[in-house]
Amino acid sequence: MQLIPKEDVEQKLFISYLKAKRIFHFAPINENSWGGVVRALLIAKLGKFKGNSLATRIIVSIVNKAKAMGAVAGVSDVVVFLDDKILFVEMKQRPKQLKTKISTAHTKISPEQKEFLSKVNGYKYAEGWVCYGFNEAKELIEREKQNADNGN
């Protein structure tokens, strides 16, 4: 079985592609990202802190502050601005291919991601997408740009 790049590797490829094409985009930090960043910083500073109530309180405090400042669970990984619409792209690791060419199950989106994408798709000028790997994300952008060029 071949190695499949992790989601973050695929997202970095997508970001590089968007930069090369000079397409305006950004990657929002959501509610869960704040906790992960703080956790990583605390581990670097304190070492393993399993059961460390101070570290746990710090993480909870920062995540709560992020929520109060507007961080939302389920926010898509990348926001892409095209001439006629805004795309919210949730990146997922592409499925593994077995020797028989049958793929294993896709990585599932969380209920919060599903809810966020549903809300986004309620606007005329925005679309939410789940892309399994860099190639799907790149194909999405190329298809949407071509549709815009053709007036669709």
Report, at the CATH architecture level, how domain 1-30+72-152 is classified.
3-Layer(aba) Sandwich (3.40)
User: Mean pLDDT, the chain, as a whole number?
Assistant: 82
pLDDT for the residue numbered 126 = 96
Q: Binning pLDDT at 50, 70 and 90, where does residue 125 land?
A: very high
pLDDT tens digits, one per residue of 28-76:
876 556 556 666 666 666 566 555 567 677 777 777 777 788 878 889 9
Per the listing, tokens 């809810």 go with 115
Ordered by start, the domain boundaries in the chain are: 1-30+72-152, 31-71
Tokens for 21? 């094409």
**Amino acid identity of 136?**
E
pLDDT tens digits, one per residue of 96-113:
665 555 545 567 889 999
In the beta sheet, which residues pair with residue 91?
A: 131
Q: Binning pLDDT at 50, 70 and 90, where does residue 12 land?
A: very high
CB contact at 8 A, 150 and 144 = no
pLDDT for the residue numbered 93 = 87
CB contact at 8 A, 94 and 10 = yes
pLDDT for the residue numbered 146 = 92
pLDDT for the residue numbered 23 = 97
